[in-house]
Amino acid sequence: MRAALESSGSRVAGWQSEDEVIRQMDAADAFLHSAAWEGSPVTTEEALRCGLPVIARSLPVLRQMNLVGLVESPSEMATAVERLAEGDLKLAALTSQAVFERHVRQHPARLTDLYDQVRSSHK
């Protein structure tokens, strides 16, 4: 599966440290989360924290966050990527940053905070 992805032009990074993930997100133009089911994708919250526009499947937790760019199918995801590429990435990033401020930073019991607590207790 990795070879098929790489031969299509995708870069497969595998597991990365938190610092490396944040470095890569800082260099990215957008974040695409393709999972059709997941409880609360921490990587999406990290992308919002980095100010990236997010395109993701319409998961209940992401709908509650009022994210722009939620889609129902892989074909809708491809269309959303095309639209984002044609549009103003800065405006989309500002929207993502506003969502982060409203839904992630303001809720101290968020999963990312729990991960931060666990991470700091193991240092």
pLDDT of 96 > 70? The answer is no
Map out the domains of the chain with their CATH numbers. Answer: 2-121 (3.40.50.2000)
pLDDT one-digit tens code per residue, 13-53:
888 888 898 898 888 888 888 888 877 677 888 888 888 88
Q: Which of 20-24, 103-107, 110-114 has the highest mean pLDDT?
A: 20-24
**Model-level pTM greater than 0.75?**
no
pLDDT at position 7 is 94
Axis crossing angle, helix 42-49 with helix 89-99, rounded to the nearest 10: 120
- Which ranges in the chain belong to alpha helices (H)? 2-7, 18-27, 42-49, 60-64, 74-86, 89-99, 111-121
Question: Which backbone phi and psi does 31 adopt, to 5 degrees?
Answer: -125, 130
pLDDT of 102 > 80? The answer is no
Measure Cα distances from 69 to 29, 30, 31, 77, 114 in Å.
14, 11, 10, 8, 26
